[in-house]
Amino acid sequence: MDQRHQSHHRPQHPNSNHHDNHQSTFKRDMDDSGRGHFQHKRFRPGQNHHPAGPSTPPSSPPTQSLSIQRQLYERDFPLYKQPVEVGHFSLDSERRFFNDARQLRYYVEPEKSCPNFDLRDGYRGRFVKRDDRVKEKLDHILRWILANRSKLQSKDTAASSSPCALGVDIVTWRGHLTKLLTTPYETREGWLLAVTRMGGTLYISEVETEAARRDRENRTERHEEMMYWGYKFEQYTCADDAQSLPDPGGVVNTNEAFCTVVQTRLAEHRLLFSGEVDCRDKDPKAPSPPANYIEMKTSLEISTPKQRSNFHRFKLLKWWAQSFLPGVPRIVAGFRDHDGVVVSVETYHISKISQLIKNETNCWKPTVCMNFCCEFLSFVKSVVTEDDPRLVHLFSWDPHRDVTYSIHRDSQYSFLPDWYVREMTSSTSRETHHHPPQT
């Protein structure tokens, strides 16, 4: 690290959860104006960049950051291959993992266009909330990978020298990618993404920021209740099988989840990620997954032009990014009043959202989202070159700043569990012989 730059460091990074004095080196190469003479050392979108070669001495790593300025990403839409579902898994009412679709639900269209669903019903007595203090990191995806390795290993990866080669470049949650897609337009919430390279694959796992932890611990009672409303809407509209009806009298348990695992490619990046799916089309003739999946959403009813504009500019961005990534084609939205009563239901087709927003001034652009995500992944690949399951590069972003990173070895940020590393690095083990622990 160039000593001259250390005076620019703030004593504690605003995003960081902990001081990590002996192991961590922030590579903030910018002065606080965001402009300075070090700008040429930034990762330049669209250029080949190989700054962190293995021969770089550890004492003088390259200083780098990635700009999030939108105009840098306004170019042709990058290649994004149609996502293919390679598997799925379920988490039950106690958050136990099952390598099957037992939690997949079926969409039942409300009988009336104004259904009057009361989203507050059951909040007091029929709600089991997942403990969001527990950080599961990538564990469920890793369990799925161990149980399904043969589905992933193509001919060339099976023959490759590394037993932990998966034949993909990136493993992560869909939600983490959604955050990357929306970053060029985000003005409020930063993020921290921990990255580890093992067997040539980059694993990306989110770390809760200090600000997010504070928000989580200080939610108002009203906010807590409103977080329930989205799940309650799912209960009004989803049934356990194709023949039955929803059961609004049952318990809402947010431990339960059905997750799809998809494979796709963004430009040169081969991605494997998982995301929760709310339900599927119950028509047996519906197309195969993920094309039969439906995302359920709730939102405040729109009464004024300003509200419509805000809905297009902010909410549809998040909705689009979340569903576009795994190839979920439809969103069913319940519009509710301030008392949590659903007054109308509308379907949005993901492929039509860009048309819907095109008359909005100062609006988001899908191409900026995708190009930024692509450049971030290239940046990560160029920085994280050392294969080591205990090594974490912590990428950090705050609104109005560049993306930077810090390095942590054997720290609290290490997130690949021993059971996964052991299984992946033992070349003889195969999915039929081993059962990773449930918790």
Q: Should residue 236 be labelled a site residue for ligand A3P when binding is judged by CB under 6 A?
A: no
Query: Interface with ligand A3P by CB under 6 A: which range of 4-12, 186-194, 225-233, 416-424?
Result: 225-233
> Can you give the length of the chain in residues?
439
Instruction: Convert residues 268-287 into a mask of x (bound to ligand A3P by CB under 6 A) and - (unbound).
Output: --------x-x---------
298, HSE (Cβ side, Cα atoms, 13 Å): 25
**Least CB distance to Mg ion at residue 229 (A):** 11
Count of CB atoms situated within 10 Å of the CB of 333:
21
Block residue for tokens 């369990």? 143
Whole-number Å distance between alpha carbons of 248 and 14: 43
Binding piece for ligand A3P, criterion CB under 6 A, among 206-214, 230-238, 284-292, 383-391: 230-238
List all residues 6 or more positions away from 293 whose beta carbon is below 8 Å from its beta carbon. Answer: 260, 277, 278, 279, 280, 281, 326, 328, 329, 330
Closer CB to ligand A3P, residue 344 or residue 367? 344
Residue 45 or 246: which CB sits closer to ligand A3P? 246
Binding mask 170-209 for ligand A3P (x = CB under 6 A): ----------------------------------------
Q: How far is the CB of 297 from ligand A3P (least distance, A)?
A: 4
Please say which residue, 29 or 256, places its beta carbon nearer to ligand A3P: 256
Identify the residue among 227, 242, 267, 300 touching ligand A3P (CB under 6 A): 227
38 binds, among Mg ion, ligand A3P, none (CB under 5 to 8 A by kind): none
Give whichever of 149 and 297 is closer to ligand A3P, judged by the CB atom.
Answer: 297
CB of 186 or CB of 278, closer to ligand A3P = 278
Sole window of 41-49, 71-79, 92-100, 223-231 interacting with ligand A3P (rule: CB under 6 A): 223-231
Query: Which residues in the 283-312 window bind ligand A3P by CB under 6 A?
Result: 297-298
Angle between helices 316-324 and 366-383 (to 10 degrees): 60
Considering only CA atoms, which of 429, 434, 419 is closest in space to residue 142? Answer: 419
Nearer to ligand A3P, 227 or 363 (CB): 227
Q: Are strands 201-207 and 170-173 parallel, antiparallel or unpaired?
A: parallel
**CB under 5 to 8 A by kind: which of ligand A3P, Mg ion, none does 29 bind?**
none
- The CB-of-298 to ligand A3P minimum distance in angstroms stands at 3
From ligand A3P, Mg ion, none, which one binds at residue 42 (CB under 5 to 8 Å depending on kind)? none
Using CB distances below 5 to 8 A depending on partner kind, what does residue 229 bind out of ligand A3P, Mg ion, none? ligand A3P
Closer Cβ to ligand A3P, 13 or 297, answer by number? 297
Nearest distance from residue 390's CB to ligand A3P, in Å?
30
Q: Which of 229, 320, 413, 415 binds ligand A3P (CB under 6 A)?
A: 229
Which residues, in sequence order, are CB contacts of 81 under 8 Å at separation 6+? 264, 265, 266
CA nearest neighbour of 117 among 259, 246, 262 = 246
Q: Which residue is nearest to ligand A3P (CB)?
A: 230
List of residues contacting Mg ion (CB under 5 A): 278, 296
From the list Mg ion, ligand A3P, none, which binds 149 (C-beta under 5 to 8 Å, kind-based)? none
230 part of the interface to ligand A3P, by CB under 6 A = yes
Tokens of 234: 């799912």
- Interface with ligand A3P, residue 348, by CB under 6 A: no
- Contacting ligand A3P within 118-157 (CB under 6 A): none
Q: How far is the CB of 327 from ligand A3P (least distance, A)?
A: 16
For residue 187, with 0-12 CB atoms within 10 Å meaning exposed, 13-18 middle and 19 or more buried, which class applies? exposed
Q: How big is the site for ligand A3P, counted in residues (CB under 6 A)?
A: 9
Residues binding ligand A3P (CB under 6 A): 227, 229-231, 233, 276, 278, 297-298
